[in-house]
C-alpha cells in the first residue's frame, strides 16, 4: 500500500482503501458463546465502487454551499421486523482449519486460527504478496482492504444476489439476461441507492440477499491491521464483487469487546470504546468517511438481553428452547466505529407506579403519512431524516429504556430514571430536533474505564453516577446526550480533531444541566462559572503533566482530513496508552467554545449553533467548517477581530494554555460560589491550627452548606495544605458526610485520607476502589498500598486488599497506574504533601482518580 507505519510507534492505522470502494451496508449474523468467550458468524458487505461515491460526495458538498438548494424529502423510519430464520445461513459443520481458501496448487499458509498471514509483513502493514494493486488502475488484480485485527477469518465468498427471488426488478439492462458478475453488481448498485422512502423494502432485500448461497470463494490474506480480499481476474473496483460474505470469529483477548461479569456476578460482554474501535469485532472500514448502515441478528442464551445501536426497540424471538434471537437495524449512515453491542443478564428498569401525575413522560410519537412533509433543507446523503419530519422536530422527549444488573435497579429508579426526561427536554430546548428516535441506557460493569460513552440509540453509564445525589448523574447524562448531536449526528472527518466531539459535549453539558434544573439565569451562570473554575485547575495540571505534542487540538494542521491515494491514513498517537487518560480535547475545546459564546453573547451563539446543526447533521466536519460558518453568520460588529487563522494559531495548533484564555483568567473575578469556598477553606485552616484541647468558651466554627462542585473545590484547596490533623479530617467527614457524596467528591476525599494516613477512614478508600475504579488500576493501587508504609495502618491495609482485589482482573486499558509516567510538576516539586509517601500515590493513583472520573 501507499502508506508506511512505524511498527514501534503509537499511531493507529486506518487501512481500508475507501477511495476505491465503500461499504454501504453491513448485515451481521452472529452467535455469542460465553463459555468460549467468542462471537462468531458471518458478515455480509454490500459495496459501492469509488467512482459512484465520489459523484455523490461532490453533489453533497455542492448542496452544503447553499442553503437554498433542495433538501431531501424523506419519510421517517418505523419499526421494521425482518423475519429471523431459525437456521444459520451457513453450515455449522464447517471445520475451522479447513476454511482457508488458496489458489489451486498453492500451499495453505493459514495459521492455527485459519488466518492467511504474509510472513514478510515486517511492519504489519502490507498488501498480499499475490496482489498489490488496491486501486482501479494497472494490470494487477484489485484488492479490497478492510480494517481488521484480533479476528480469525475463516472464509470469504461472493454472494449470489441474482438468485434471490424478486431481484430481477433491479436489473435495468434487458440484455443482461445471463447471470454474471456484471449483473450481480448492477443489482447491488440499484439496491444500495434505493430512495430513502423505500428503506423498509431495502432492509428486507438486504436480509434476503445476506442469506443467499455463495457463488465462489475469494482469496484473502490478513496481517496485523487488515484483511485483504481479491478475486481472480477482477482488476478494478467496478469488477470486484459488490456483495461478499465473511465467515469469522472473534478472539477472547480481542480488544474491541470486554468479557467480564456484571455487578450481580453474571457474565456479560460489551464494546468498551477501545482505541482500535470495532475492527476486533467485525472486519470493516474504519475511516469516518466510510459511513454505512447496518442490520444485525444476534443469538444468545435465552437468559441474556442483547442491546445494540439500533433504531428499533428489539424484543427477543425464541428460536428453540434456551436460545433467543435479537434483531436491530440502522437507516442513518454512520461510521462503523459507532456500532455498539452489549450482551448480559440485564434487567429493564421501569418507573414505579406514581399516584401523582406531575412526573415527566416521554412525548408520544408515531409517524404517519401526514408527518412526511419537509420541514427544512438537508445537505447530507439521502436517508430517512428526523430533521425532515414535523412531528419529530417537536418531540422534546424521545422514547427511552434503562437496563442494569438486578442489584442496581433500585438506584436507577431513585436517580437515573427521574433525570432522563428533563435532560432530554433540556437538550431539545437548546439544540432542537433529537437526531435519534430512541435511547437505551445501560449501567455497565464496574470495570468500565470511564463515566459514560454515547453511541447511536444507546448510552453506557458507569455505576459511579448512581450514588451521592443527582448532580454527577445529571451532568454526565447531559454530556452523553450532547454527543447525539456532536460526535454522532455530526462527526469529525479527521479523528485527530476530537475537540469537535468532546469540547462541544463538555460545553453543552453545563447548558443542558442548568436547563434541566430550571435554574434562574443568574444561578445558572454562577454554577457554570464554578465548573469553569474547576476545569481551569484541571487544564493547568494537564498542561504540566502531558507531552507538548499531545496538547494540540489540530495536530495535522493544513493536512487535517487528508488521506493517502487509497484512502488509508493514520491517527496520530491513537495507540498511546496515555492518550486514554488525557483531557486536553475536552478542556481546551470547552474553553474555546466558552470563549466564543462570551464574545458573541449566548443568544447569538446558540442561535448559530442550532443553524449549524441543521446545516451539517448527517455529515462529517472539520474545524474550519464550524469556524467559517460561525464567522460568516455573525454581524461584522460582533466578530471582534476574530478570524479562522487567529483561532487556529491561538487555540487549535499550539500546545500549552491558549493566550486568550490566560488573559481571561488573569483578568476575571472569582465567581461568588468560588469565593464562598475560599471563605470555608479559611475556616478549616483556622480549625486545623487550633490545639487539640481548646478553651471551653471558644466558639465552634459554623460551616456553610456547599454544592457538590463546591465540595470538590474545597477538598482540592485542602489537598494543597501541608498537614491536616486527623481531628480536622474527622470533622470534615462529619460536616459534609463525605462518605455519602458522589464519586467526584469521594475521590478527593480518598486523596486526603491517603496523604494524611487517616487509617480510620480506609473503609472509604476500600469502597472507592471497589465501586469507582477500573479493575486493573484498582489492583495496582492495592498491591502498591500493601507494599508501602508501616505503623498502625498495616492490618487495615491487609483487610482492604483481601476484600477488594479481584482474582482474575481484565483490563481494556493496557497499562496500570503503577506504570504511569510521573507528571512533571510532581517529579520536579518534592513538596511537603509527598513526604513519607511513595511517588505513585500522587503521580499515579491520585491523578488517575481525577482523570478517570472526568473522561
Active-site residue numbers? 480
Cα 286 from Cα 147, distance rounded (Å): 6
Cα 399 from Cα 438, distance rounded (Å): 5
Which residues touch 464 (CB under 8 Å, ≥6 apart)? 451, 472, 742, 743, 771, 772, 853
SS3 61: helix
Cα 819 from Cα 335, distance rounded (Å): 33
Nearest to 45, CA basis, from 244, 186, 214: 244
**Strands (DSSP E) along 641-791, which ranges?**
none
Q: How far is CA 161 from CA 176, 682, 814, in A?
A: 14, 76, 43
Which residues touch 450 (CB under 8 Å, ≥6 apart)? 273, 462, 852, 855
Which residues touch 649 (CB under 8 Å, ≥6 apart)? none
Dihedral angle of Cα 650, 653, 654, 659, to the nearest 10 degrees: 10
* H or E segment and range at residue 22: strand 21-33
φ, ψ for residue 49 (rounded to 5)?
-75, 155
Please give the DSSP secondary-structure letter assigned to residue 818: G
Secondary structure string (H, E, C) spanning 445-461: CCCCCCCEEEECCEEEE
Which residues touch 440 (CB under 8 Å, ≥6 apart)? 307, 313, 400, 401, 402, 403, 457, 458, 459
Bridge partners, 564 (sequence order): none
Cα 62 from Cα 42, distance rounded (Å): 38
46: left (phi over 0), alpha (psi -120 to 50) or beta: beta
| Contacts of the segment 746-750: beta carbons below 8 A, 24+ positions apart | 746/468, 746/772, 747/772, 747/849, 747/850, 747/853, 748/712, 748/715, 748/716, 748/719, 749/715, 750/849
* H or E segment and range at residue 63: helix 50-64
Amino acid at each position: 500500500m501507499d502508506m508506511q507505519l512505524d511498527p514501534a510507534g503509537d499511531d493507529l492505522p486506518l487501512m481500508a482503501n475507501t477511495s476505491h470502494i465503500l461499504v454501504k451496508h453491513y448485515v451481521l449474523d452472529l452467535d455469542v458463546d460465553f463459555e468460549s468467550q467468542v462471537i462468531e458468524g458471518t458478515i455480509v458487505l454490500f459495496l459501492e465502487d469509488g467512482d459512484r461515491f465520489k459523484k455523490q460526495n461532490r453533489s453533497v458538498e455542492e448542496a452544503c454551499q447553499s442553503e437554498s438548494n433542495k433538501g431531501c424529502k424523506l419519510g421517517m423510519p418505523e419499526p421494521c421486523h425482518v423475519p429471523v430464520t431459525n437456521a444459520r445461513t451457513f453450515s455449522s459443520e464447517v471445520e475451522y482449519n479447513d476454511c482457508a481458501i488458496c489458489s489451486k496448487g498453492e500451499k495453505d499458509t493459514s495459521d492455527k486460527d485459519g488466518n492467511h498471514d504474509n510472513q514478510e509483513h515486517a511492519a504489519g502493514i502490507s498488501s498480499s504478496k499475490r496482489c498489490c494493486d488496491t486501486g482501479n488502475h494497472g494490470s494487477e488484480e484489485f484488492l479490497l482492504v478492510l480494517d481488521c485485527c484480533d479476528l480469525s477469518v475463516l472464509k470469504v465468498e461472493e454472494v449470489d444476489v441474482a438468485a434471490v427471488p424478486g431481484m430481477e426488478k433491479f436489473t435495468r439492462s434487458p440484455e443482461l439476461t445471463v447471470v454474471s458478475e456484471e449483473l450481480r453488481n448492477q443489482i447491488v448498485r440499484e439496491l444500495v441507492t434505493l430512495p430513502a422512502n423505500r428503506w423498509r423494502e431495502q432492509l428486507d432485500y438486504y436480509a434476503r440477499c445476506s442469506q443467499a448461497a455463495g457463488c465462489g470463494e475469494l482469496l484473502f490474506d490478513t496481517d496485523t491491521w487488515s484483511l485483504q480480499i481479491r478475486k481472480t481476474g477482477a482488476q478494478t473496483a467496478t469488477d470486484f464483487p459488490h456483495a461478499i460474505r465473511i465467515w469469522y470469529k472473534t478472539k477472547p483477548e480481542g480488544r474491541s469487546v470486554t468479557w467480564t461479569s456484571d455487578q450481580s456476578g453474571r457474565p456479560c460482554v460489551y464494546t468498551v470504546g477501545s482505541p482500535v474501535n470495532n475492527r476486533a469485532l467485525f472486519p470493516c472500514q474504519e475511516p469516518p468517511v466510510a459511513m454505512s448502515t447496518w442490520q444485525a441478528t444476534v443469538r444468545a442464551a435465552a437468559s441474556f438481553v442483547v442491546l445494540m445501536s439500533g433504531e428499533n426497540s428489539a424484543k427477543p424471538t425464541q428460536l428453540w428452547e434456551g436460545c433467543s434471537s435479537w434483531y436491530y437495524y440502522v437507516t442513518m449512515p454512520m461510521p462503523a466505529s459507532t456500532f455498539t453491542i452489549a450482551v448480559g443478564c440485564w434487567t429493564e428498569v421501569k418507573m414505579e407506579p406514581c399516584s401523582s401525575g406531575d412526573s415527566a413522560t416521554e412525548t408520544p410519537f408515531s409517524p404517519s403519512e401526514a408527518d412526511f412533509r419537509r420541514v427544512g433543507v438537508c445537505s447530507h446523503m439521502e436517508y430517512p431524516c428526523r430533521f425532515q419530519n414535523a412531528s419529530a422536530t417537536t418531540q422534546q422527549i424521545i422514547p427511552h429504556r434503562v437496563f442494569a444488573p438486578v442489584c442496581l435497579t433500585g438506584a436507577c429508579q431513585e436517580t437515573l430514571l427521574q433525570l432522563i426526561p428533563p435532560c432530554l427536554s433540556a437538550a431539545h430546548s437548546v439544540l432542537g430536533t433529537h437526531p435519534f428516535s430512541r435511547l437505551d441506557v445501560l449501567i455497565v460493569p464496574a470495570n468500565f474505564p470511564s463515566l459514560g460513552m454515547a453511541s447511536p440509540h444507546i448510552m453506557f453509564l458507569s455505576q459511579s453516577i448512581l450514588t451521592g445525589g443527582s448532580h454527577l448523574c445529571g451532568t454526565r447524562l447531559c454530556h452523553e446526550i450532547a454527543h447525539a448531536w456532536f460526535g454522532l449526528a455530526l462527526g469529525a472527518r479527521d479523528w485527530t480533531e476530537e475537540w469537535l466531539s468532546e469540547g462541544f459535549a463538555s460545553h453543552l453539558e453545563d447548558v443542558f444541566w442548568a436547563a434541566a434544573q430550571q435554574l434562574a439565569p443568574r444561578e445558572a451562570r454562577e454554577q457554570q462559572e464554578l465548573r469553569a473554575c474547576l476545569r481551569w485547575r484541571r487544564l493547568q495540571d494537564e498542561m504540566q503533566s502531558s507531552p507538548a505534542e499531545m496538547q494540540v487540538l489540530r495536530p495535522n494542521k493544513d493536512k487535517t482530513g487528508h488521506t493517502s491515494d487509497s484512502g488509508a491514513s493514520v491517527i496520530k498517537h491513537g495507540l498511546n496508552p496515555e492518550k486514554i487518560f488525557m483531557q486536553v480535547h475536552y478542556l481546551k475545546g470547552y474553553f474555546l467554545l466558552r470563549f466564543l459564546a462570551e464574545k458573541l453573547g449566548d443568544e447569538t451563539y446558540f442561535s448559530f449553533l442550532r443553524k449549524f446543526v441543521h446545516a451539517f447533521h448527517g455529515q462529517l466536519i472539520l474545524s474550519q467548517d464550524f469556524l467559517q460558518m460561525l464567522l460568516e453568520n455573525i454581524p461584522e460588529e460582533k466578530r471582534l477581530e476574530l478570524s479562522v487563522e487567529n483561532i487556529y494559531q491561538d487555540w487549535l495548533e499550539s500546545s500549552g494554555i491558549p493566550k486568550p484564555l490566560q488573559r481571561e483568567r488573569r483578568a476575571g473575578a472569582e465567581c461568588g460560589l468560588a469565593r464562598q469556598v475560599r471563605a470555608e477553606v479559611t475556616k478549616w485552616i483556622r480549625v486545623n491550627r487550633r490545639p487539640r484541647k481548646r478553651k471551653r468558651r471558644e466558639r465552634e466554627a459554623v460551616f456553610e452548606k456547599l454544592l457538590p462542585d463546591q465540595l470538590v473545590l474545597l477538598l482540592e484547596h485542602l489537598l494543597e495544605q501541608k498537614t491536616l490533623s486527623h481531628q480536622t479530617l474527622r470533622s470534615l467527614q462529619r460536616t459534609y458526610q463525605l462518605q455519602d457524596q458522589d464519586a467526584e467528591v469521594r475521590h478527593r476525599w480518598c486523596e486526603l485520607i491517603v496523604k494524611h494516613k487517616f487509617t480510620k477512614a480506609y473503609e472509604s478508600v476500600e469502597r472507592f476502589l471497589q465501586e469507582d475504579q477500573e479493575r486493573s488500576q484498582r489492583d495496582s493501587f492495592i498491591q502498591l498500598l500493601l507494599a508501602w508504609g508501616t505503623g498502625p495502618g498495616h492490618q487495615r491495609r491487609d483487610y482492604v486488599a483481601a476484600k477488594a482485589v479481584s482474582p482474575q482482573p481484565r483490563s481494556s486499558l493496557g497499562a496500570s497506574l503503577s506504570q504511569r509516567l510521573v507528571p512533571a510538576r510532581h517529579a520536579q516539586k518534592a513538596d511537603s504533601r509527598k513526604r513519607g509517601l511513595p511517588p505513585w500515590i500522587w503521580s499515579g493513583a491520585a491523578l488517575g482518580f481525577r482523570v478517570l472520573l472526568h473522561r
